[in-house]
Amino acid sequence: MFFSRDIGIDLGTANVLIYVKGKGVILNEPSVVAMDRKTNQVIAVGEEARKMIGRTPDNIIAIRPLKEGVIADFDVTEIMLKYFIDRLKVRGFMNKPRILICCPTNVTSVEQKAIREAAEKSGGKKVYLEEEPKVAAIGTGMDIYQPTGNMVVDIGGGTTDVAVLSMGDIVTSESIKVAGDVFDNDILQYVKKQYKLLIGERTAENIKIEIGTVFKGGRKEEMEIRGRDMVSGLPRVITVHSDEIELALRESVNLIIASAKNVLEKTPPELSADIIDRGVILTGGGAMLHGIEQLLADELKVPVFIAEDPMNSVAHGTGMMLDSLSKKSR
């Protein structure tokens, strides 16, 4: 292959999604790298490494190099990106691909530099950075280039980004470090406190998906979970209910609601009027949390809709932005 293809990367705390021009989203893998502590060798990347979380001997460690939407471990992020990009075989014989990467709205210039360097070292010719809510809005099909207000709430793994956009740019925004990972931890802590039972991250995530809700009385389900009894140290099985999960997640979800209210309060009145008409779009993995759109609609007093493909909104948005970059460079 002599030509390189432009790629868009949604570098998430929980997952990395890669869009390749002309092919669409062709990679969606967990942001996890498994390494041997003794030799510093990479054992697995992505889904294979995720399966090892909490299930490996002491010398093997599963690392999530991104925390709260930013790079926590630069070297491991670079290893992970290089592995994924190599797997796609997008580099040309003579040239490298252009890469567009998304980052949360409040990343510092130091963090931006780290993201850019990791992408350059993993094989990018030119690296562009874009703010996540803007790319997510484009990916959901919003026309953000008109003089009308559009509001997006992007709930990812590490951060929730709330933004109002108009004329192709962000008018007001807020980014908070409350998202999918915090929800999992809330469930884990609740089970520990309430039942004196220790469970892992993966079990907590399964509970959230299977029976979790954030809308009081919105779901009436139960689930058997297994863990280690904190008193006897032996395995034990308990049953948890949807109502309990709503209670466990309430505090964190209220922070997201408060953030959305803050952004609306700072929005110019003309754009607020547009949002009442057009509603708010929810994207990111957290948009699939049961009852979230109902709760936000009740609290914000505006219509709330879940994007058609919330998990892939940002990745699709990078694709659309790459297309416009190509047109400009012609």
Side-chain half-sphere of 217: how many Cα atoms within 13 Å?
Answer: 0
13 appears as a binding residue in the annotation: yes
* 8 Å CB contact between 16 and 31: yes
Quote the tokens at residue 37: 């502590």
- Kindly report the backbone phi and psi dihedral angles of residue 141, in degrees, each rounded to the nearest multiple of 5, phi listed first: 95, 5
208 appears as a binding residue in the annotation: yes
> CA 81: distance to chain centroid?
16
Amino acid present at 38 = K
158 appears as a binding residue in the annotation: yes
105 appears as a binding residue in the annotation: no
Q: How far apart are CA 309 and CA 114, in angstroms?
A: 29
193 appears as a binding residue in the annotation: no
Q: How far apart are CA 48 and CA 52, in angstroms?
A: 7
92 appears as a binding residue in the annotation: no
163 appears as a binding residue in the annotation: no
Q: Would you call 269 exposed, middle or buried from its count of C-beta atoms within 10 A (0-12, 13-18, 19+)? A: exposed
* 3-state secondary structure (DSSP) of residue 85: helix
59 appears as a binding residue in the annotation: no
Q: How far apart are CA 214 and CA 292, in angstroms?
A: 6
Q: How far apart are CA 308 and CA 37, in angstroms?
A: 42
Map tokens 């908070």 to a residue: 176
- Kindly report the backbone phi and psi dihedral angles of residue 14, in degrees, each rounded to the nearest multiple of 5, phi listed first: -95, -40
* 3-state secondary structure (DSSP) of residue 180: helix
* 8 Å CB contact between 245 and 211: yes
Which H, E and C letters describe 205-220, residue by residue? HHHHHHCCCCCCCCCC
Quote the tokens at residue 288: 């699939």
* 8 Å CB contact between 44 and 29: no
> CA 207: distance to chain centroid?
18
* 3-state secondary structure (DSSP) of residue 251: helix
Binding residues: 13-15, 157-159, 205-208
Binding site for ATP: what residues are annotated? 13-15, 157-159, 205-208
